[in-house]
A and B are shown apart, each in its own frame.
Chain A
Amino acid sequence: MRAKSFCGSVDHAISRRGFLGATVAAGASAFADMTGLDQLGSSALASQMKKNQKRVILLWLAGGASQLETFDPKPGVQTGGPFRAIPTSVPGVHISELMPQMAKRMHKTCIIRGLNTKIGDHLNGAQLMLRGRRNEAGLKYPDIGAVVAREMARLESQVPDHVTFYTQTEGRYYALGDAGFFGARFAPMELTTENRPGNIRRRDGITALDHQQRADLRVLLSQQFAKGRSSSTLGSHNEAYERVRGIMASETLFDVTQEPQKVRDRYGPTQFAEQTLIARRLVEAGVPFVRIGRAWWDCHGQNFETHQEMVPELDHVMATLIDDLHERGLQDDVMVVTLSEFGRTPRINASLGRDHFASAWSMSMTGGGIKGGAVWGKTDPLGNTVSDQEVNAGTLFATLYAALGINPHKNYYVGSRPVPLVDEGIEEIDDLIA
């Protein structure tokens, strides 16, 4: 565990939005145009980072993508739907015909088909599948983004530790980033309206020199105020300002136009594609965790039409991202995860839709310490139950953390209370870890 100024008390949580807002109000930004951060993407630095840090890009398929139309097809049975299964680069493993590009890359990817997470409503399902367990009364657990940020962030980093994109409105509330008892230090920078963070640019009327002088004055006053005082709140306050300077400096990383047009074309023109490309830029520059919320898969009506529309986009963007990471030598250091709050019912309803279903569904993990070509779990012929190698949310998260090099059995402390990263008795799946 990295030493941070966080005291471990929920009382000391501060709102990132709050301090960002305060900072902008002060017009502070000495780093609004530090394009040099792009150089973090250089091969030398990327190589250095490989040794130190793993990162995660979570493609959050909000609303619940169908396992039957992605990773666990059941063609020809009553519940199977119209899509065919196609062979993949892993002998004997078939996925939906909607994912031909991923089929060619299946040897790089691990599929879990045996998820039984039991919770079939959006809010509680999302909270579970972003944390690996349910909150307790009086204790909010950090989500995976906050955990990875805390474990993987570098003290000297000038980039955000935890970024989420969720630019659609449906389901955003269900999947808010939450650092839980870690406090606001590891809460996400949340982008909800556009692909670039707002409110972090230096205002036109303030020069860089003005800003620097204001920052120096604030430091001076803070140091004087801190004399003779011992306050974790004060420490957190000062750290927050330092973090803001880094975050402001990273603005250009969010600018997709900095990428060559051929790279942008390769990812594609959709919003999800652009955000995924930005995510690649961010992790390459050292951001430990980026989540892209791709809403909204909740197909109670017209499930097949909607999956025919959305899965090819997912297939293309996933495949492009995986290729891009490989070409940059980052395949072992960046894990790409696709996950939802649940899957969809095998039963097809009167609107040719599928409803919420958490009893037997699928997700994928690629790179970052996960064994490629692995398939874990099996569902029955109709897809109604897990028939072998069932996985719950805790086991999934223990496996993710272990693959990233984070001991899933470590303890954090809330006050003097030890809180394990995953619940007692949960074990990772060693067979899936490279």
Chain B
Amino acid sequence: MIRCGSRLHRFSHTDSSFVRIVVAAPNPEKLKLVKDFGYPMPVFDVAPVPQSTRCFFGAADFQVSEVDLAATKWEPRKLYAHGSYVTTVTLAGSALISGGYDGQLIWWDTAKNQMIRSVEAHQKWIRKAVTSPDGRYVASVADDMVCRVWDAVSGKPVHELKGHAPQTPQHFGSMLYAVTYSADGKYLATGDKVGHIVIWDATTGKSVTTLEAPVMYTWDPKARLHSIGGIRSLAFSPDGKRLAVGGMGKVGNIDHLEGKARVELFDWQSGQTIAQQEHDGQKGLVNRLAFAPDGSWLAAAGGGTQGFFYFLNSDAKKILKDEKAPMHVHEFSLSPSGEEFVLVGHNRIAQYKLG
């Protein structure tokens, strides 16, 4: 252990390739809402600009917008449009990549404020795109049930990862909601509607293993004859050994998002389940999960008719902090230090800080 002033530092991850020094994450007990902004439409994703107070976000107005959260006046600026809801935004260097239900991935030069390219990336709705930790690749998932890996600079396809069934067991179209990179960039995880998870070797594009979280999917065969749920969020622990999976527990009345917020934690290499945590006080989908930089907690956010934002301990068995969010949360960004969150969701954007 190394002490540095008042903050605890430690070696959090070692292997033959690199050593990373991580600052101990702040205590979730110190969570506080800093600012809360209204927006006329649901906001689905946010990408904060490093070392700045600006962020980009995508919303149900089909727009990618930019805003300075520190400005005295809340003035979002619309940058460019998709043909449908903009469900994902991610930065790769100075390029912003956005994706939407129109199936398009659009590269945007944030320095020159001009479009670089638009790619017909998927046949169906794009649910999420993430940039690899080294910034070289972008992985996108969509309801065509394919994860595609793109060169972040050229926009050329690198891998096409196929491991999710296009239909549910009941013969309806499935959906591929979630994708995430491990912190070292070696692995990708994808999760679909019926609770099937695939871990991929990010370099080769080969499937490494699969996991199942079937409780996340509710099929009602008798009363309503359709389904609800699905894996909505994934997060690797900073050491890459664990995978957290977010969604919702079994639902009785699938007219509503009334299942308990649910997180499952896997030791993914052994396939063992570490925790299956259902929140007795929060209903709805866990749309976003993120580990603290030092792995000491796991933040979860989402919602149903109301929003939630809570923190679990590192093995996802104990709730450390439980907060009612000002809206159903669709996504949040987490600063590298683990201190700042920007939550986006139903018609609101909220800034939180720890400490």
Residues of A within 8 A of B (CB): 63, 75-76, 78, 82-84, 168-170, 268-272, 294-296, 298-302, 305-306, 308-310, 312-313, 348-353
Contacts and interface: CB of A to CB of B under 8 A. Distances in A.
Contacts, number: 96
B84 interface: yes
B125 interface: yes
Contact of B125 (A82, A348, A349): A82
B305 A78 contact: no
10 cross-chain pairs, A with B, having the tightest CB-CB distances, nearest first? A296-B224, A301-B257, A170-B223, A82-B85, A82-B101, A350-B346, A301-B256, A350-B328, A298-B255, A169-B223
B327 A296 contact: no
Given A82-B85, A350-B303, A350-B328, A302 B171 contact: no
A191 to B, nearest CB: 15
Interface string B244-285: 000000000011111000000000000000000000000010
B316 interface: no
B160 to A, nearest CB: 23
A168 B223 contact: yes
Which among B255, B303, B347 has the highest number of chain A CB atoms within 10 Å? Answer: B255
B224 A351 contact: no
Contact of B255 (A75, A76, A296, A313): A296
Interface size for chain B: under 10, 10 to 19, 20 to 34, or 35 or more residues? Answer: 35 or more
Given A296-B223, A301-B255, A313 B172 contact: yes
Contact of A351 (B41, B173, B304): B304
Contact of A76 (B62, B101, B347): B62
Contacts of B84: 75, 82-84
Interface string B129-152: 000000000000001000000000
Contacts of A305: 175, 228
A169 B221 CA distance: 10
A300 B222 contact: no
11 contacts: A78-B40, A82-B101, A268-B171, A270-B171, A302-B228, A309-B226, A309-B227, A348-B60, A351-B257, A351-B303, A352-B346
Contacts of A296: 223-226, 255
B72 to A, nearest CB: 27
Contacts of A271: 225
B83 interface: yes
A299 B220 CA distance: 14
B228 A350 contact: no
A76 B61 CA distance: 7
Interface in B32-88: 40-42, 60-62, 83-85
The dominant DSSP class at the B interface is loop
Which among A170, A268, A272 has the highest number of chain B CB atoms within 10 Å? Answer: A170
B303 A295 contact: no
A122 B284 CA distance: 24
A168 B224 contact: yes
Contacts of B257: 301-302, 351
Contacts of A312: 172-173
A298 B284 CA distance: 17
B226 A301 contact: no
B228 A269 contact: no
A120 to B, nearest CB: 15
Which among A268, A294, A302 has the highest number of chain B CB atoms within 10 Å? Answer: A302
A74 to B, nearest CB: 13
A367 B235 CA distance: 53
A130 B23 CA distance: 66
Contacts of B306: 350
A295 B227 contact: no
A309 B258 CA distance: 19
A81 to B, nearest CB: 8
Contacts of A349: 305
Contacts of B102: 84
A351 B83 CA distance: 22
A270 B168 CA distance: 12
Contacts of B304: 301, 350-351
A76 to B, nearest CB: 6
A306 B20 CA distance: 44
A78 B256 contact: no
Contacts of A348: 42, 60
B173 A308 contact: yes
Nearest to A76: B62
A271 B225 CA distance: 9
A170 B85 contact: no
B225 A295 contact: yes
B255 A300 contact: yes
A352 to B, nearest CB: 7
Given A168-B223, A295-B225, A306-B226, A269 B125 contact: no
Given A82-B101, A270-B171, A350-B303, A168 B346 contact: no
A79 B299 CA distance: 32
